[in-house]
Amino acid sequence: MSTPARTARRSGLRSGEAASGWLFTAPMIILLGMFLVIPVLMALWVSFSDWNGRGSPFGGTVSFVGLDNYSALVGGGGLAEQDFGTALRNNAWYVLLVVPTQTMLSLLLAVLVNRQILRGRGFFRTAFYFPSVTSSVAITVLWLFLFSASGAVNKLLAFIGINGPNWFNDPSGVLHNFLGLFGVETGPAALTGNTFLGISFWEWLAGPSVAMSAFILMAVFTTSGTFMLLFIAALQNLSGDVVEAAMMDGANGWQRFWRVTLPQLRPTLFTVLTLGLIGAWQVFDQIYTGTQGGPGKTTLTPAYLSYQAAFTNQAWGQGAAIAFILFVIIVAFTLFQRWLLAERQVSERRMRPYLQNPTSGGSK
Amino acid sequence: MSTTTRTRERTVSPSRRLRALSREQLPNRQVAGKSLLYAILIVLAMIYIAPFLIQVATSFKTDGDAASNPMSLLPQTWSTAAYERLFLNSDFPVWFQNSAIVTVFVTLGRVFFNSLAGYALARLHFRGRNVIFALLIAVMSVPGVVLLIPKFLVINQLGIYDTYVAMIVPLLTDAAGVFIMKNFFESIPASVEEQARIDGAGTFRVFWSIVLPMARPALVTIIILSFQGSWNELSHFIVATQSPELTTLTKGVASLASGQLSQGTQYPLKLAAAAIMTIPVAVMFFIFQKRIMNTTDGAVKE
């Protein structure tokens, strides 16, 4: 590919390519501009305005209010701040529990079904993946039934002598409940007296409510199959040589997995964690279908709160502001996690044995 | 190690006696490990499947039976009342129809526009290509839930609120799909197209009759993703429509779930509705199962 050949082709055979290039991409550009870029800019304006849903947000009656909508959420001291704090707390617990669990479970499932000698491999994969194709609405309806007060889950718990909770109507936090077993009913004054975003530290530490826990189980149930497929694909792409070399060196199965296989899965692990994080901060469908934020606002999430503020309470500026804060949170978490999992230089201490004895470094 | 020697033995001497002998020689630990693996897998698979079996079984129960025997997989008396009610006495058929219309148009539109843009970004040389690609990546990172209010604003401003256009056109934006198509087109050799160009075919002609037929695997991926995505979409329809004639399955069943259309719990009705809305994606899944599950490159053929 020399440069003269390229220019020659461009003038002759590839004439008119620029025009077709733009023509081919135009529909997508127009669509993305119309329904993604422009809307986001419009919403950004709305988040700085006092539009109440009537007429056009760009009409004369709508005025610029600066950061009022944002400051009401993060320091207003009113109900808006309290709701926002509650929603953040709920979703933070959800993320904290869902992301690690679904990652570990999907990796476990992938490793289990990726055995070369396994009868019914296809069946197991299908069983684990199937929940992923169903819609969140259908699964939520099913979950409401399974986790109802006298539902299948509580029947199952009764078999082993546990009196199951009234899942979707129980607003108590699971960590508070756990502490309650030891007689701790109220937190120390240092935690109950001080607040962050309108709710006390003690409330921040309540853990997910029992109702939210049911949603957490549902998220793990529906997403583990998708991520399992990503891990299976990655496992199949690994070359057997390295594992074989480790085998020759006398590493047992456990060591081979942690020291040899897992480090090679790092890119996939990164993808799964990123997708998991982004997804887990966007809980909306389940809440809209199932609980509408109840009981006791313990399943309220920022995404649902944003919808509710705008479409139900006509506080459009506030709704848009919540959406943008959520956007910033998601970007920040993704960047943080990217930094955390970034390929680091091996520290000198760990490198030393290999430097002193270079022949033991390479296995071949 | 031992597994490979075992299989070799098996192929060399297929007689039953020898096979039994080799099985006896298997270390006990390995047998235990193997049974444990299957036990774990079977229990996990049961946990994953049981909810759906309970769902289908319950949809054929009477309300009282569903409430008192939530776990049983056989209805005491088989009843199709839930299905009759859904299809003959509710808006359910309308919801189904709307979901089908939207899904078909969105899938067709995405296949066409994604491959068009993907081809241009992969193959055509033009000024600004890299800028478009960079923008595409940036746009992909915007989380969907953040777009609820923005989408409503633009739909309202354009005066298309509560129409099929508002339901379908915004869903055609699919930066990830363009990305998939671009990657695929880059992986196939350019020589075939060059030949057609020398023979005097125009760019669109080359794209339509030569490149697109070669892109079938990637197109199938796009079809699966868009079908599943638009069939299961909820939030976009919430902000784009309000009239009952334009309600889709997701929106309709969600309203059923919160008890807007029914008295009491009526679990059989709700679960029947949820089961029916799962059927099309399930069928899609089983048709393309091989592709989705990526099982073709397994080492052992069964």
Most B-contacting residue of A14, A28, A153, A232 (CB-CB within 10 A), to test interface: A28
| B253 in the same domain as B180 | yes
| Cα(A197)–Cα(A72) distance, integer angstroms | 10
C-alpha distance from A182 to closest chain B C-alpha (Å): 32
> Other CB atoms closer than 10 Å to residue A24's CB: what's the count?
23
Residues lower than pLDDT 50 in chain A: 1-11, 358-364
- Please report residues of B whose CB lies closer than 8 A to that of A311: 152, 238-239
* B302 is a domain residue: no
Give me the number of domains chain B comprises.
2
Q: What residues 220-279 of chain B have any CB closer than 8 A to a CB of chain A?
A: 228, 231-232, 234-235, 238-239, 249-250, 253-254, 256-258, 265, 267, 270-271, 273-275, 277-278
- For A17, the closest of B66, B125, B175 (CB atoms) is B125
| Cα(B179)–Cα(A110) distance, integer angstroms | 26
Asked whether B76 and B61 are in contact (CB, 8 A), the reply is yes
Residue written as token pair 């991926």: B221
By C-alpha distance, which of A338, A275, A333 is closest to A106?
A275
Minimal Cα distance from B249: which residue of A? A137
| B199 in the same domain as B170 | yes
The reported pTM is 0.86
| B14 in the same domain as B73 | yes
Does the pLDDT value for residue B22 go beyond 70?
no
3-class SS at B236? helix
Q: For position B60, what pLDDT does the model report?
A: 94
- Roughly how many angstroms between the first and final C-alpha of chain B, as a whole number? 21
Residue written as token pair 């009022």: A68
| Cα(A289)–Cα(A136) distance, integer angstroms | 9
| Cα(B249)–Cα(B230) distance, integer angstroms | 11
- Please report residues of B whose CB lies closer than 8 A to that of A119: 38, 302
DSSP A256: I
Q: For position B99, what pLDDT does the model report?
A: 96
Rounded to a whole number of angstroms, the CA Rg of chain B reads 26
- For A330, the closest of B120, B143, B153 (CB atoms) is B143
Q: Number of A to B CB contacts under 8 A, please give it.
A: 283
| B123 in the same domain as B73 | no
C-alpha distance from B248 to closest chain A C-alpha (Å): 12
Q: For position A345, what pLDDT does the model report?
A: 59
* B15 is a domain residue: yes
- For A25, the closest of B132, B145, B203 (CB atoms) is B132
* B26 is a domain residue: yes
Contact B70 A145 (CB under 8 A): yes
C-alpha distance from B267 to closest chain A C-alpha (Å): 7
Contact B207 A122 (CB under 8 A): no
* B267 is a domain residue: no
Asked whether A168 and A146 are in contact (CB, 8 A), the reply is no
C-alpha distance from A93 to closest chain B C-alpha (Å): 19
| Cα(A206)–Cα(B161) distance, integer angstroms | 42
Domain boundary among B28, B60, B85: B85
| B213 in the same domain as B234 | yes
Domain residues for the domain of B151 are 90-261
Tell me, yes or no, if B71 comes closer than 8 A to chain A by beta carbon: yes
User: In chain B, what percentage of residues exceed pLDDT 70?
Assistant: 86
Question: CA of B157: how far to CAs of A58, A205, A314, B154, B173, in Å?
Answer: 10, 43, 17, 5, 18
| Percentages of chain B per state (helix, strand, coil), in multiples of 5 | 75, 0, 25
Q: For position B13, what pLDDT does the model report?
A: 42
Q: For position B137, what pLDDT does the model report?
A: 84
* B285 is a domain residue: no
* Angle ∠(A43,A46,A48) on CA atoms, nearest 5: 120
Dihedrals phi, psi of A173, to nearest 5 degrees: -75, 140
pLDDT (tens digit, 9 = 90+) per residue, B76-130? 889 898 899 999 988 999 999 999 999 999 999 999 999 999 999 998 888 888 8
Contact B257 A137 (CB under 8 A): yes
Q: Is the dihedral of CA A288, A292, A297, A298 positive or negative?
A: negative
Q: What mean pLDDT is reported for chain B?
A: 84
Q: Where are the domains of chain A?
A: 80-173+208-342
Q: For position B142, what pLDDT does the model report?
A: 84
Containing A255, the helix (H) or strand (E) segment is: helix A253-255
Contact A127 B58 (CB under 8 A): no
Q: For position B263, what pLDDT does the model report?
A: 58
Instruction: List the alpha helices (DSSP H) in A54-151.
Output: 68-75, 79-113, 121-133, 136-146
The CATH number of residue B127's host domain is 1.10.3720.10
Minimal Cα distance from A109: which residue of B? B41
Q: What residues 157-186 of chain B have any CB closer than 8 A to a CB of chain A?
A: 157, 169-170, 172-173, 175, 178
Tell me, yes or no, if A332 comes closer than 8 A to chain B by beta carbon: no
| Cα(A248)–Cα(A251) distance, integer angstroms | 7
Asked whether A209 and A165 are in contact (CB, 8 A), the reply is no
| Cα(B61)–Cα(B74) distance, integer angstroms | 8
Q: How confident is the model at residue B201 (pLDDT cuts 50, 70, 90)?
A: confident
Domain spanning A80-173+208-342: CATH superfamily: MetI-like (1.10.3720.10)
Asked whether B261 and A118 are in contact (CB, 8 A), the reply is no
| B39 in the same domain as B156 | no
- For A310, the closest of B149, B273, B295 (CB atoms) is B149
pLDDT (tens digit, 9 = 90+) per residue, B143-172? 888 889 999 999 988 999 999 999 999 999
Minimal Cα distance from A334: which residue of B? B141
* B266 is a domain residue: no
Q: What is the bridge-based pairing of β-strands A199-200 and A195-196?
A: antiparallel
* B273 is a domain residue: no
| B248 in the same domain as B130 | yes
Q: What residues 33-52 of chain B have any CB closer than 8 A to a CB of chain A?
A: 37-38, 40-41, 44-45, 48-49, 51-52
Contact B146 A16 (CB under 8 A): no
pLDDT (tens digit, 9 = 90+) per residue, B135-149? 888 888 788 888 899
Contact B253 A138 (CB under 8 A): yes
Contact B143 A327 (CB under 8 A): yes
* B21 is a domain residue: yes
Tell me, yes or no, if A17 comes closer than 8 A to chain B by beta carbon: yes
| B170 in the same domain as B81 | no
Containing A196, the helix (H) or strand (E) segment is: strand A195-196
Q: For position A5, what pLDDT does the model report?
A: 43
Domain boundary among B261, B281, B297: B261
Q: For position B5, what pLDDT does the model report?
A: 43
| B181 in the same domain as B200 | yes
Question: CA of A273: how far to CAs of A87, A96, B72, B186, in Å?
Answer: 22, 12, 37, 28
| Cα(A331)–Cα(A337) distance, integer angstroms | 10
Tell me, yes or no, if A336 comes closer than 8 A to chain B by beta carbon: no
| B113 in the same domain as B100 | yes
pLDDT (tens digit, 9 = 90+) per residue, B47-83? 999 999 999 999 999 888 888 888 888 888 898 988 9
| Cα(A49)–Cα(A46) distance, integer angstroms | 5
- For A144, the closest of B204, B257, B284 (CB atoms) is B257
Q: What residues 268-287 of chain B have any CB closer than 8 A to a CB of chain A?
A: 270-271, 273-275, 277-278, 281-282, 284-285
By C-alpha distance, which of B124, B218, B104, B269 is closest to B171?
B104
| B153 in the same domain as B32 | no
| DSSP-assigned beta bridge partners for residue B38 | none
Domain boundary among B61, B85, B109: B85
| B251 in the same domain as B166 | yes
Q: Two tokens at A138?
A: 């259908």
